[in-house]
């Protein structure tokens, strides 16, 4: 066991973890943040995407011990004062989710794109989402929702 101290969604958390514990299961099973989902075992589907020190990463591809001392944002950390984040709102208003399983990872990936990139176009959004698989929506409305949220957020850059 090894002690890991992290900041998740602005809250300091500490726990003992097995060295082999994946970050995603540390979040889900030790910290109780079950909003981040697991959809594959090959780091392909992106359901487990979170922000680690502001960058979107797949939390199934990291060990919990690698996150020691670092800062993370998960889907649970996006709302402010009970209000949906612009991306969550855009997903709702543009029907960008159906079963909702890929949604947390998709929203965080979209957030990563908005923070990283300059101008987002349909093409750059599509390329930027290459690591996130959705089986329900055909991506049409996801791309639209991220575009809408990006337009809303761009002047303030988060």
Taking the alpha carbons at both ends of the chain, their separation in whole angstroms is 37
| Residue numbers 49-68 binding other proteins by CB under 8 A | none
**Closest separation between CB of residue 46 and other proteins, Å?**
9
Which CB atom, from 69 or from 83, has the smaller least distance to other proteins?
A: 83
Neighbours of 25 (CB within 10 A): 19
Q: Which residues contact 115 (CB under 8 A, 6 or more apart)?
A: 54, 157, 158
Neighbours of 121 (CB within 10 A): 12
3-state secondary structure of 131: coil
Identified binder of other proteins from the candidate list 69, 126, 151, 158, rule CB under 8 A: 126
Cα dihedral sign for 123, 127, 129, 133? positive
Stretch that binds other proteins, among 26-34, 51-59, 63-71, 150-158 (CB under 8 A): 26-34
Identified binder of other proteins from the candidate list 49, 59, 73, 103, rule CB under 8 A: 103
Which CB atom, from 57 or from 78, has the smaller least distance to other proteins?
A: 78
The rounded Cα 151 to chain-centroid distance in angstroms is: 19
**Closest separation between CB of residue 144 and other proteins, Å?**
8
Which residue's structure tokens are 């991306």? 87
Identified binder of other proteins from the candidate list 63, 101, 152, 154, rule CB under 8 A: 101
**Closest separation between CB of residue 150 and other proteins, Å?**
14
> Does the protein bind other proteins through residue 40 (CB under 8 A)?
yes
Q: Are 35 and 76 in contact (CB under 8 A)?
A: yes
Residues engaged in binding other proteins (CB under 8 A)? 18, 20-21, 25, 28-29, 33-42, 44-45, 47, 74-76, 78-79, 84, 88, 91-93, 95, 97-104, 107, 122, 125-127, 129-144
């Amino acid at each position: 066991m090894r002690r890991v101290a992290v900041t998740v969604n602005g809250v300091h958390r500490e726990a003992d973890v097995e060295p082999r514990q994946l970050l995603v299961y540390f979040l889900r099973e030790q910290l109780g943040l079950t909003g981040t989902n697991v959809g594959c075992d090959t780091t392909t589907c992106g359901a487990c995407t979170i922000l680690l020190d502001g960058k979107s990463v797949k939390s199934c591809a990291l060990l919990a011990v690698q996150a020691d001392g670092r800062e993370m944002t998960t889907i649970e950390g996006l709302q402010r004062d009970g209000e949906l984040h612009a991306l969550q709102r855009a997903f709702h208003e543009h029907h960008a989710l159906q079963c909702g399983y890929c949604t947390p990872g998709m929203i965080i990936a979209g957030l990563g794109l908005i923070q990283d990139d300059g101008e987002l176009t349909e093409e750059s959004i599509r390329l930027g989402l290459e690591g996130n698989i959705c089986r329900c929506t055909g991506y049409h409305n996801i791309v639209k929702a991220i575009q809408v949220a990006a337009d809303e957020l761009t002047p303030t850059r988060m």
